[in-house]
Amino acid sequence: MTPDMQQRFSNLGEGDIDVLIVGAGINGAGLFRDLSAQGVNCVVVDKADFGSGTSAAPSRLIHGGLKYLETGEFGLVAQSTLERNLLLKNAPHCVEPLPTFIPVFSWTRGIWAALRTMLGSKTAPRSRGAVLIKIGLGLYDFFGSRDQVMPRHRLILKRQARKEMPHITPAIVAGGIYYDAKISRPERLVYELVKDGLEANAKSLAANFASLTAVSSGRLTFRRSDSSEFAITPRLVVNAAGPWIDQVNRALGAPSRMIGGTKGSHILLDHPELVRSLNGHMIYFEADDGRICLVYSYLGLALVGSTDTPADDPENVRCEEPETDYFLESLRSLLPTLRFDREQIVYSYSGIRPLPASDATAPGLISRDHSAPVKEPEPGRPFPIVSLVGGKWTTFRGFAEEVADTVLARLQHARRQSTRYLPIGGGKAFPADGQHRSVWINETAARTGIAVDRVDELLGRYGTTATALLAFASAYTDEQRLTGAPAYSLKEIDWIARNELVVHLADIVLRRTTLAIEGKLTLEGLREIAGVAGAALGWSPERNAGEIEDVVTQLEKFHGQMLTSKTPAAGPEKAPRPASV
């Protein structure tokens, strides 16, 4: 816990908190920022780290939901495309345009099936021809015209399509190209939302790794990982626990059955030839069984996803062997001139989408829209509970705004500001274009003495937060780099450990950075990170060793990643020597 957060908790008094938000995923963090910006005193808590559950397992797309047109969810598409456009403006440090290619295998197929689906049929079309895709992309452009920042779609014939995508199967007849967006660091953005909320209201609080231990007459007690406790008596509780919503409601004395999740898995391939051939595009394609899949370049790797199968155990979700086989076979069919095998996989991940409970026969037909049902106070529970059900990553700001307005009305508290154009984290004062970026980089390099290329790298990784990092007085220099990941410095790790509410080593390598998902971690590098973090956070040698073992276990069990080492582990871990020693 940072000194500022320690001070906030030590000053916490009875009745100081208006709203408790349980769950610090993207929806909970977004709501925390919105309410704190309105002057509402909030606490956001999570039993794990910020953004460590479902919010850490998306396709990493910021998209408008093209496929939702088939199910007639036009309102959701309208909101999603708007929020996509706003995120491109509000989080330019980690959200960028993504030109997307759709392979088309027929001219007229799927029209009648699509009409049946829009009219309420429970079966989705198995194939979508050029006519249907052209209509869909036209509608998509129309819905995405508010705050538009990207080009409109185009439909190209087979010859041009195969020039754009040289390895695509010759079975196509045409291709569609439209624009969505991707997010490079979704877990970090969740943390940035929490940080923005804390900066907006000095009386708001955030606690990761805090478990609910007691509920008594409106008083809720939480225990942190260091065994310290805090208690609050909120006027209102928001349940933003995602797949765990029903469990949390039961713990609060308000049993429910709101969630019926589906599992989404992804793999990342070290495949330079594929990445080069994509030329910055995503391929959004229909697999042989009719399921929608995707592949695009992510931090130099090829990200492939996603599955959509019923699942209800968010604690033990991982990409299974049949899912991996499915991805590889789908890619072989789509791109027959490229080689795909398991040796190319450097990372995998999976999560449970917290969708509303549904009797739909196909998971893809379950609505991705959101709702916020309220359980009113009852004897023994004086506070109402607002549960955040469903939703998607892209729409978190709009969803938060809707729920915040509901909460504000109940608290009889006026809205002070809109979050519509409110920059997030490192997106604040971010250079508006290439020219402004060059000026920012050159001025920062001259002021700090750091090389221009390095400043550019840090700006891309942290946004304008890089200024605080570079100004940070650390015992380590920026020239001291991690083994196996020389793009990261020990100074970065020290700054993150001391300033970003880190509790465990996994918080750094899985969420505050993209070290793990990039496949950049080695066992030596992990030891170095643990040494720096341990020195910053006061870990004992035993705690250091346990933290390393926990990360190694998590990566192997949930992400299919085995850390390699050039030298065997030996003895307790020590911090790398600071530059000043």
Omega within 30 of 0 (cis) for the link into 211: no
CA angle, residues 268, 316, 341, in degrees to nearest 5: 25
Q: Exposed, middle or buried: residue 174 (CB in 10 Å: 0-12, 13-18, 19+)? A: buried
Measured distance CA(365)–CA(385) in Å, rounded: 28
Amino acid at 355: L
Write out the H or E segment, with its range, that includes residue 78. helix 74-90
DSSP 259: B
User: Three-class SS of residue 214?
Assistant: strand
Measured distance CA(310)–CA(299) in Å, rounded: 30
User: Three-class SS of residue 512?
Assistant: helix
What torsion, rounded to 10 degrees, do the Cα atoms 505, 508, 509, 510 define? 100
Measured distance CA(293)–CA(155) in Å, rounded: 20
Sign of the Cα pseudo-torsion (363, 366, 372, 377, in order)? negative
Contact in structure between 165 and 141 (CB atoms under 8 Å): no
By C-alpha distance, which of 317, 321, 316, 367 is closest to 342?
321
Write out the chain's pLDDT in tens, 581 residues.
888 888 999 888 888 999 999 999 999 999 999 999 999 999 999 999 999 999 999 999 999 888 888 778 899 999 999 999 999 999 999 999 999 999 999 988 876 666 666 666 655 555 778 898 999 999 999 999 999 889 999 999 999 999 999 999 999 999 999 999 999 999 999 999 999 999 999 999 999 999 999 999 899 999 998 899 999 999 999 999 999 999 999 999 999 999 887 899 999 999 999 999 999 999 999 887 778 899 999 999 999 998 888 887 888 899 999 999 999 999 999 999 999 999 999 999 999 988 777 655 455 556 667 899 999 999 999 999 999 998 889 999 999 999 999 999 999 999 999 999 999 999 999 999 999 999 999 999 999 999 999 999 999 999 999 999 999 999 999 999 999 999 999 999 999 999 999 999 999 999 999 999 999 999 999 999 999 999 999 999 999 999 999 999 999 999 999 987 653 333 344 556 565 43
Measured distance CA(170)–CA(426) in Å, rounded: 43
Residue 24 to residues 314, 356, 397, 434: CA-CA distances in angstroms?
15, 19, 14, 34
C-alpha 267, offset from chain centre:
15
How many other β-carbons are positioned within 10 Å of the β-carbon of residue 288?
11
